[in-house]
Structure 1
């Protein structure tokens, strides 16, 4: 996210400072109204619920150092969850095109491009 980007969220107070940080923030009060939630934030709650369950259940919590790697893996899996064969094909293609980083390279401060496409 870059300053000036438009962000639509629910009205949780944790998002209240987004406008001060240069984002165009629209807060939608859903208050248990599923129609409002689905209109403005389709499947967002499902994605975050699945993410939290996966992190707590599979990894039993996450350290900040490893968070980005876990998010990359979740994104890869979620983007391909409805088409299992595409997951397998993508994994084979990625495995043939990249060399595995060392632990130090994986968690170095510099950013590495991801192969997951970056979207959920």
Structure 2
């Protein structure tokens, strides 16, 4: 609470209309403050407190899923073009979409699937 007091105070006022000073005035209990903080931290995509603690909370779950879908489409297009390009033309693999809180993560280098992996994947598709 000490590290993020400004963000906590702003969120308590914005979402609940509660002044953090009410804790010292006797109008707010520690238990209620804990419940309100827990509620603030569970709100993905909004809130100064959640964003200060974890930058990836700036985006909602849906936004993170859409970024993964975009990356998958880029990879599929890359693989399609690479497989259907004649000659020694080499394309650079696509860069993953930027995500908040993921700047320090090294993207995985793409690799081609083996024949056994492809056969297994197609086999799983037929089982559905």
Per the normalisation by structure 1, the TM-score is: 0.24
- Going by fraction, where is helix more abundant, 1 or 2? 2
Per the normalisation by structure 2, the TM-score is: 0.23
- Going by fraction, where is strand more abundant, 1 or 2? 1
Rg larger for: 2
